[in-house]
Amino acid sequence: MTAVDDRPVASIAEIFENLDVPEGFKAELLRGEIVMMAGPDWVHNMIVLFVQRQIPLDRWYPLQTQDIAIPGESSEPQPDLVVYEHGAFEGPGRLIPAPAVTLVLEVVSKTSADRDYRLKPSMYAAGQVPAYLLVDPFAATCVLHTEPVGAGDEAKYQVERTVKFGDPMPVDVLDLTLETSGFRTLPRL
């Protein structure tokens, strides 16, 4: 005789929604996979702070610890910084729809490099986020991805601009030039 489990099967999104994340950790749902990571270090947080302080608050909301929903994807990432224009989203809820977001920032950590460089550009492009800024304190570079095209795993950004720490980074979607000279580095991986 075969035993059958009659319990309803929860979707990965429901499991993620009810996940009890231990203090000091964060979790993201990335293309159907729950990824848990330790909290960021000081260098990481200072880079996010320096970027956040340069964004004009009269037009933009730069938010940390804000989850976004990628339409058509089983993804609910929590970028290091989410920037959206006043009026683009009025809540309520834990998730901002990706089409309301203008820019996402990810700062590379020891454990996130592969996801930040390979998975997230495609995922954010699939969500039609106009700009994805990747700051890498190990390589001392900033990479700005713009002009998203495509859908799903095939989505990508058509334009990529890289600058070294210390050089200004034009961020046209926010109508500003990001000063990067205050960004700290970490020993190469």
29 domain residue, yes or no: no
What is the number of other CB atoms lying within 10 angstroms of the CB of residue 20?
A: 5
- The answer to whether position 137 is within a domain reads yes
Q: Is residue 91 in some structural domain?
A: yes
Q: Is residue 18 part of a domain?
A: no
Decide if pLDDT at 28 tops 90: no
What would the mean pLDDT of 171-181 be, rounded to a whole number? 97
CA distance 125 to 116: 13
Structural domain boundaries, residue 131: 40-178
pLDDT tens for each residue of 91-149: 888 899 999 999 999 999 988 899 999 999 999 999 999 999 999 999 999 999 999 99
Helix (H, G, I), strand (E, B) or coil at 114: helix
Asked if 73 and 123 count as a contact pair (C-beta separation under 8 A), the reply is: yes
Q: How do residues 33-70 score in pLDDT, each as one tens digit?
A: 777 776 778 999 999 999 999 999 999 999 998 999 99
Nearest Cα residue to 109 out of 27, 42, 22? 42
Taking 50 as the threshold, does the pLDDT of residue 29 lie above it?
yes
Question: Any idea of the CA torsion for 151, 153, 159, 161, to the nearest 10 degrees?
Answer: 140
Instruction: Determine, yes or no, domain membership for 84.
Output: yes
Global confidence as pTM: 0.85
In a domain, 15, yes or no: no
Give a yes or no: residue 136 inside a domain.
yes
Model pLDDT, residue 1:
47
CATH number at residue 108: 3.90.1570.10
Q: Is residue 77 part of a domain?
A: yes
Beta bridge partners of 28: 35
Look at the chain and report how many structural domains it folds into. Answer: 1
Q: DSSP strand E in the chain: where?
A: 25-30, 33-38, 60-63, 67-69, 81-85, 95-97, 103-107, 131-136, 141-149, 156-164, 169-171, 176-178
* Confidence label for 6 from pLDDT (cuts 50, 70 and 90): low
